[in-house]
Amino acid sequence: MSFETVSQSRCCGGTQFVYRHDSRETGTPMRLAVFVPPQAETGKVPVVWFLSGLTCTEENFTVKAGAQRVAAELGLILIAPDTSPRGEGVPDDPEGAYDFGLGAGFYLDATEAPWARNYRMRSYLERELPGLVAEALPADMTRQGITGHSMGGHGALTLALRDPGRFKAISAFAPIASPMNCPWGEKALTHYIGPDRSAWREYDACALIEGGARLPDLLVDQGTADGFLDSQLKPRLLEEACARAGQPLTLRMQDGYDHSYFFIATFIEDHLRWHAERLGP
């Protein structure tokens, strides 16, 4: 299976692609945005994955974060997948809510009907898509980093904690730190996984850390003017879990910043340099 090129544009000396492919995991077409830096013309280069938040597609990070300039300087491939399966027959929130269903896959494998057939973003990102990337792109899969925003920050943390050997650098922007303890997460986990809260723990960064999972280190930025800070994101739960476990964490509370892509655009350079330092030349 190969990628179909939807679009490509010269950008910062490299190329910004949008690809499409048919996914065996989700049973749907899937899209992803990929920036390939100029250094890839002479060999494989490190990869940084960006997982987006609620309501987003592969486009949001690609057009709003301004990440390509720094990625081109540092020689990083940027991969931004979609946030959920989409297409005819894919179930959505019957009330049309933004925090569940289409655009809100929560980077898990659903087990409850009718979601289990298509909502398999965990397996898609852990198994299927990395294999396709390794085959189709000049990506050094021994040097991978991952980051994400909000729901995508939750996805980045949990993917990395479940597979600590895969990612050499991990960061997040305003992640949902403990989905088990916030309305967004409780709604998604109940519907996708079922009412047994013990089954939710593998999708909660704080629970995974409490259970013994570890990362080499972790960078998290959080805006103090974020309207979701206290109700949904709860970074102090992550800070407390890391402190109890001895898990290295750099939590930066950024004064006056909200939940928007203006926040991400401000600090994306810091994060990409963090990743580049850990992924090596």
Active site residues: 150, 226, 259
Could you say which DSSP state residue 126 is in? I
The residue whose two tokens read 């189709």 is 136
* Identity of the residue numbered 144: Q
* Identity of the residue numbered 242: C
Q: How far apart are CA 72 and CA 40, in angstroms?
A: 10
Length of the chain: 281
Q: How far are the Cα atoms of 133, 161, 162, 233, 257 from residue 177, in angstroms, in the given order?
A: 28, 13, 15, 6, 18
Structure tokens at 113: 């009907």
CA proximity to 78, closest of 27, 33, 109, 41: 33
Q: How far are the Cα atoms of 148, 169, 270 from residue 247, in angstroms, in the given order?
A: 19, 14, 21
CA proximity to 231, closest of 172, 272, 281, 187: 187
Q: How far apart are CA 179 and CA 231, in angstroms?
A: 11
What is the sign of the dihedral through the CA atoms of 128, 129, 135 and 136? positive
